[in-house]
């Protein structure tokens, strides 16, 4: 709530971003310490004694990862439930072997070598998990890239979209990830239903959706890295303002010759439709294009349909991960075989025209661009002081938590 208010009144200062990063790092450490502490307690292991062998330490990290992926609440779990989750994880998460290999390869070989014939305590196991945790994001993103490649191989005539028929057909043929039911895809905002009877999966909305996030970390999600963000960053860097004229936007975007994704090439000269849309955005925004508005995000989706997600109107979607869908029953998000077979049996017309990307000419802005507000020195000092006190209190609290663990 506090951060939301700061964004609505001018955003965060650099020093506040720094303190926020420090607090997040401490929070992640605290969560992992609590999780491993509970795991040790469940199996009756003392947390302050060096009783874990090298092989057992890797197994403990594997078990903890399995509980995160499955959504098991360690506050309520017992030993038999943890063992069951670990035993079934390969069926729930088919790329488990890849993640397990990555885990064992990432944990420092020097550390493993130093443990031959020795044993360690909880604190050392926690330290090695944190090393793995920092590397999970890039590993997850490689998995995301593979998923996108598979989607592009069954892409519809219109770039950035896959017919639900092809999506489910791939699932029935063994691509386990392509199995969310229509209700969940709709709630994610990954389903284009602008053409009745022929729904399509929106590739960037699905890739970046919470169904592809790894695990159930209490404070954050490990999700696919957006390929649209680098494109938006180029726009921000070149324009250096919250708004710009349509001609300036066109000049900047047309110069993208090295996009971050292998699935798109530089636009070069913008199409008449893209130029027309830019002027339409400016027409409802006093002649300028707000680069943080919904309409510009929609324009970026048309320009880069494989990278930039389609921005639905506020309130029409509610993306949640599979553990928060349908009252916390993970299995509820997956389509029944009969539902997939019904859609997979549909045959698109060979002579059907290429469907255009839906366009909803409705602007949404978090805040109106304001060129008159500048950070005041006195307020900067106050923000710095408050952030420092908050950080100090957080460190004391986390220290007490770790000592109790």
Cβ atoms of residues 355 and 157 within 8 Å = yes
Q: Which residues pair with 290 in a beta bridge?
A: 243
Using alpha carbons, select from 71, 138, 77 the residue that is nearest to residue 322: 71
The CA-based dihedral angle spanning residues 245, 204, 237, 262, taken in that order and rounded to the nearest 10 degrees: -120
| Whole-angstrom distance, CA of residue 311 vs CA of residue 304 | 13
Q: Encode burial over 308-318: b for 16+ CB neighbours within 10 A, e otherwise.
A: bbbbbeeeebe
* pLDDT at res. 380: 47
Q: Residue written as tokens 């997939």?
A: 340
| Whole-angstrom distance, CA of residue 276 vs CA of residue 265 | 21
- Residue by residue, DSSP assigns 32-94 as HHHHHHHHHHHTT--TTS--B-HHHHHHHHHHHHHHHHHT--TTT--HHHHHHHHHHHHHHST
* pLDDT at res. 357: 81
* pLDDT at res. 377: 46
Q: Kindly report the backbone phi and psi dihedral angles of residue 119, in degrees, each rounded to the nearest multiple of 5, phi listed first.
A: -130, 155
Pair type for strands 161-163 and 289-290: unpaired
| Whole-angstrom distance, CA of residue 387 vs CA of residue 390 | 5
* pLDDT at res. 347: 78
| Whole-angstrom distance, CA of residue 212 vs CA of residue 224 | 7
Return the CA Rg of the chain.
24
pLDDT tens digits in sequence order for the chain, 405 residues long:
455 555 555 566 777 777 777 777 787 778 888 888 999 899 888 878 887 887 888 889 999 999 988 888 888 899 999 999 999 888 878 888 988 888 888 776 666 666 666 788 888 888 888 888 888 888 888 999 999 999 999 998 888 999 999 999 999 998 778 889 999 999 999 999 988 788 999 999 999 998 888 877 777 778 899 999 999 999 999 999 999 999 999 999 988 855 555 555 455 678 899 999 999 999 999 999 999 999 999 999 999 999 999 999 999 999 887 766 655 555 678 889 999 999 999 877 655 556 778 899 999 998 776 544 444 444 445 555 555 555 555 555 555 554 455
Half-sphere exposure of 340 (CA within 13 A, CB side): 21
Q: Kindly report the backbone phi and psi dihedral angles of residue 201, in degrees, each rounded to the nearest multiple of 5, phi listed first.
A: -90, 130
* pLDDT at res. 261: 57
pTM of the model: 0.80
Using alpha carbons, select from 20, 316, 289, 275 the residue that is nearest to residue 187: 316
* pLDDT at res. 393: 56
Using alpha carbons, select from 170, 184, 218 the residue that is nearest to residue 31: 218
Q: Which residues pair with 214 in a beta bridge?
A: 222
Cβ atoms of residues 11 and 383 within 8 Å = no
DSSP code, position 123: H
Q: Encode burial over 118-150: b for 16+ CB neighbours within 10 A, e otherwise.
A: eebbbebbbebbeebbeebeebbeebbbebbee
Tokens in use for 102? 């990555």
Residues in contact with 349: Cβ distance below 8 Å, sequence separation at least 6, in sequence order: none
Q: Kindly report the backbone phi and psi dihedral angles of residue 367, in degrees, each rounded to the nearest multiple of 5, phi listed first.
A: -140, 150
* pLDDT at res. 375: 43
């Amino acid at each position: 709530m506090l951060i939301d208010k700061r964004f609505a009144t001018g955003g965060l200062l650099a020093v506040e971003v720094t303190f926020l990063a420090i607090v997040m790092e401490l929070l992640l450490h605290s969560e992992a310490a609590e999780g491993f502490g509970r795991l040790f307690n469940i199996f009756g292991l003392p947390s302050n004694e060096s009783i874990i062998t090298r092989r057992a330490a890797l197994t403990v990290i594997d078990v903890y990862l399995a509980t995160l992926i499955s959504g098991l609440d360690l506050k309520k779990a017992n030993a038999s439930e943890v063992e069951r989750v670990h035993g079934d994880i390969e069926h729930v998460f088919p790329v488990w072997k890849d993640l397990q290999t990555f885990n064992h390869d990432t944990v420092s070989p020097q550390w493993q070598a130093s443990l031959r014939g020795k044993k360690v305590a909880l604190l050392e196991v926690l330290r090695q998990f944190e090393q793995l945790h920092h590397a999970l994001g890039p590993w997850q993103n490689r998995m995301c890239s593979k998923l996108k490649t598979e989607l592009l191989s069954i892409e519809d005539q219109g770039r950035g979209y896959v017919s639900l028929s092809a999506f489910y057909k791939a699932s029935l043929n063994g691509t386990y990830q392509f199995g969310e039911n229509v209700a969940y895809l709709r709630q994610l905002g990954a389903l284009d239903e602008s053409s009745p009877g022929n729904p399509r999966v929106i590739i960037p909305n699905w890739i970046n959706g919470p169904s592809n996030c790894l695990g159930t970390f209490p404070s954050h999600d490990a999700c696919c890295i957006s390929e649209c963000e680098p494109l938006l960053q180029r726009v921000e860097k070149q324009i250096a303002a919250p708004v710009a004229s349509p001609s300036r936007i066109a000049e900047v975007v047309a110069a993208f010759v090295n996009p971050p994704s292998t699935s798109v090439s530089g636009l070069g000269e913008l199409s008449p439709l893209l130029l027309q849309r830019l002027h339409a955005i400016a027409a409802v925004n006093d002649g300028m294009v707000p680069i943080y508005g919904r309409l510009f995000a929609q324009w970026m989706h048309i320009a880069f349909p494989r990278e930039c997600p389609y921005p639905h109107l506020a309130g029409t979607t509610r993306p949640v991960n599979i553990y928060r869908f349908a009252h916390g029953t993970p299995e509820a998000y997956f389509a029944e075989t009969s539902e997939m077979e019904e859609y997979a049996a549909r045959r698109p017309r060979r002579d059907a025209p290429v469907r255009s990307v839906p366009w909803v000419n409705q602007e949404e802005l978090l805040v109106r661009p304001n060129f008159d507000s500048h950070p005041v020195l006195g307020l900067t000092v106050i923000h710095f002081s408050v952030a420092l006190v908050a950080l100090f209190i957080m460190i004391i609290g986390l220290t007490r938590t770790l000592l109790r663990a």
